């Protein structure tokens, strides 16, 4: 599984869930923490979920759990947005051979100009990839996955 796959699955789960915000509420009559969701008219819903998303039996140390579950409905979409934005900046870019050195055999090959003003042969990808955002100390693009993408993938326990 890649980081993009992981994010897509979490986004699917998030989109299918009842809209937020969710809230936790102490029910004195039952001595339960109840996590409430909101109605979702876009999904044909005009009621709360069940009406609870979850209930937790009363214990002092479960207050934090109830708050965490309720806050996750708002926090997860924001975290997904942030990770997707970072990964979009650090997308892989294909590397092509120098036009004057390529061996494509096509005299009319398509020339593309790089940001370093090199003429590259569109018909001769090298199979290498660079990060579209990260530069080394000499101003050249670094190999993909860059350290940013590698760190995100490692934290998620997936491939870049």
What does the pLDDT profile of the chain (160 residues) look like in tens digits?
A: 999 999 999 999 988 887 777 888 777 777 777 777 766 566 665 544 444 556 666 666 677 888 888 888 889 999 999 999 999 999 998 887 777 777 776 766 666 666 666 777 777 788 889 998 999 999 888 999 999 999 999 999 999 9
Give the number of residues written for the chain.
160
Q: Which residues pair with 93 in a beta bridge?
A: 130
Question: What pTM does this model have?
Answer: 0.71
What is d(CA 50, CA 151) in angstroms, rounded to the nearest whole number? Answer: 39
């Amino acid at each position: 599984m890649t980081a993009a796959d992981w994010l897509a699955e979490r986004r699917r789960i998030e989109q299918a869930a009842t809209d937020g915000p969710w809230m936790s509420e102490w029910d004195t009559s039952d001595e339960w923490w109840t996590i409430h969701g909101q109605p979702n008219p876009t999904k044909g819903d005009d009621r709360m979920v069940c009406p609870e998303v979850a209930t937790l039996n009363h214990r002092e140390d479960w207050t934090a759990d109830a708050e965490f579950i309720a806050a996750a409905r708002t926090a997860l979409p924001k975290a997904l947005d942030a990770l997707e934005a970072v990964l979009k900046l650090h997308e892989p870019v294909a590397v092509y051979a120098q036009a004057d050195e390529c061996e494509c055999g096509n005299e009319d090959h398509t020339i593309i100009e790089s940001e370093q003003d090199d003429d590259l042969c569109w018909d001769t990808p090298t199979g290498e990839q660079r990060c579209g955002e990260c530069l080394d100390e000499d101003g050249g693009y670094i190999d993909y996955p860059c350290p940013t993408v590698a760190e995100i993938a490692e934290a998620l326990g997936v491939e870049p």
